[in-house]
Amino acid sequence: MATAHHGTKERYVFFAWAFLFFLSIITGLLVLESTENKRFLKNQRESIVEKLSTIRARLESGVNSELLLARSIIIDVETNTDITKERFFKIAQHFMKSSNHIKNIGLAKGTILTYVYPVKGNEKAVGIDYKKITTQWPAVQRVIKGRKTVVAGPLNLVQGGVGIIGRTPIYIGKGNTGTDTGEFFGILSVVISLPSLLEAAGLNNKDSLLNISIRGKDGLGSKGEVFYGSEDLFANDSVFMEITLPEGSWQMASVPVNGWGMQSPLIIYYRVIAMAVGLVILFLLFIQHSEMIKRKKAEERRIETIADLQKALSEIKTLKGFLPICSHCKKIRDDKGYWKQIESYIQDHSDAEFSHSICQECAEEFYPDMGIYDENET
């Protein structure tokens, strides 16, 4: 009963350890999965940041390099306020050849667009007054008041297409105070093709793994309208990045095309490895438990055998040493000096009992007439 109870207890202990082992394996796996998923998500975001940084650099370089070309024209106008149409076209033509995205260059005297190069396709733009174009006048006012280059748009151009306009105010001479404020002369506008600029930056790549949106119309950053992509990206857990413009900015938002991967592809391998390790260790524990049970059973059998032997030995009385025996009557002398019949002596010193009979030789010698053994033989 005690052995059975002990065996049951051993099984309970084994299952308890097995349960704790699997619990620790599962806990460790969950911690590992959480850490790996965080690392995986972080790597995704870092990868998007890296790709957006490349796009941002291309956009900023594209806009700023085109606007930089216009600075030479402004210097020429500042030194020659009576610039003719031919002179302006000659300078504009030179810079158009060096440009990748400029659609046209315009010079407004005051707020009226006076010259536009090239003329073809831009006939409708010549002579317009910015004050009368409600969609553009606020941006033009920012240029005049701010006295710095401002990027407006994207917007639908009067001459057709979609573009952004870099407008730079031109001031002539010095103010009454002697400061370099000068008198407002006009505005040099550089129209940059938005589709061409975006394509050069890699935004129209059909193989791209990113969804990208851009907002910040008229350089207003996060407060401006979305002009590329979906507005929904700005409400999601997107990666954001600022694109710096002269006196303004745009804001990009991006997520992977297929959404954020919440689970690392390595998780399945971690689970398989954890399961394999768990089964191997459980198998080893089971073997160790079985061997331990076998050893305990063998020990119990050994103890039982020893107990049985000790019990048998305790029940055996052994006659040993020299026994004085009469050579004639076969009596044995005991320790007290008395002579006893041999059967009485053996009965006193062992658990043996005697039943009397007669051997064949004695029967023939002492009872020849009875024929004891003759009858048995027949």
Kindly write down the DSSP assignment for every residue of 177-243, as one continuous string.
TSSTT-EEEEEEEEEEEHHHHHHHHTTT-TT-SEEEEEE-GGGBGGGSPEEES-GGGGGSS-EEEEE
Sign of CA dihedral 164, 55, 209, 102: positive
290-307 burial code (b ≥16 CB/10 A, e <16): eeeeeeeeeeeeeeeeee
Query: What six digits make up the tokens of 347?
Result: 């009965």
**Among candidates 311, 245, 266, 259, which has minimal Cα distance to 63?**
245
Rounded to an integer, what distance in angstroms lies between the CA atom of residue 73 and that of residue 78? Answer: 9
Q: What type of residue is 9?
A: K
Rounded to an integer, what distance in angstroms lies between the CA atom of residue 325 and that of residue 354? Answer: 19
Distance, C-alpha 257 to centroid of its chain: 19
Task: State the pLDDT at residue 294.
Answer: 86
Rounded to an integer, what distance in angstroms lies between the CA atom of residue 142 and that of residue 178? Answer: 24
The residue whose two tokens read 């002990």 is: 6
* β-bridge partners, 117: 105
Rounded to an integer, what distance in angstroms lies between the CA atom of residue 189 and that of residue 102? Answer: 10
Task: State the pLDDT at residue 177.
Answer: 37
* Domains detected in the chain: 33-256 (3.30.450.350), 332-377 (no CATH)
3-state helix, strand, coil in the chain (%, to 5): 50, 20, 30
* One pLDDT digit (tens) per residue for the chain, 378 residues: 555 555 566 667 767 777 787 788 888 888 888 998 899 999 999 999 999 999 999 999 999 888 887 777 888 888 888 888 998 998 888 888 888 889 899 999 999 999 999 988 888 888 999 999 888 888 888 889 888 888 988 988 876 789 999 999 999 875 433 445 678 999 999 999 999 999 999 998 878 889 999 999 988 999 999 999 999 999 878 999 999 998 889 999 999 998 888 888 888 888 888 888 888 888 887 888 788 888 888 888 889 888 888 877 766 555 566 778 787 777 777 777 778 887 777 777 777 777 777 788 887 777 777 777 765 444
Instruction: Centre a 10 Å sphere on the Cβ of residue 181 and count the other Cβ atoms it contains.
Output: 13
Rounded to an integer, what distance in angstroms lies between the CA atom of residue 208 and that of residue 297? Answer: 70
* β-bridge partners, 155: 163
168: exposed, middle or buried (C-beta count within 10 Å: 0-12, 13-18, 19+)? buried
Task: State the pLDDT at residue 317.
Answer: 56
**Among candidates 215, 199, 212, which has minimal Cα distance to 153?**
215
231: exposed, middle or buried (C-beta count within 10 Å: 0-12, 13-18, 19+)? exposed
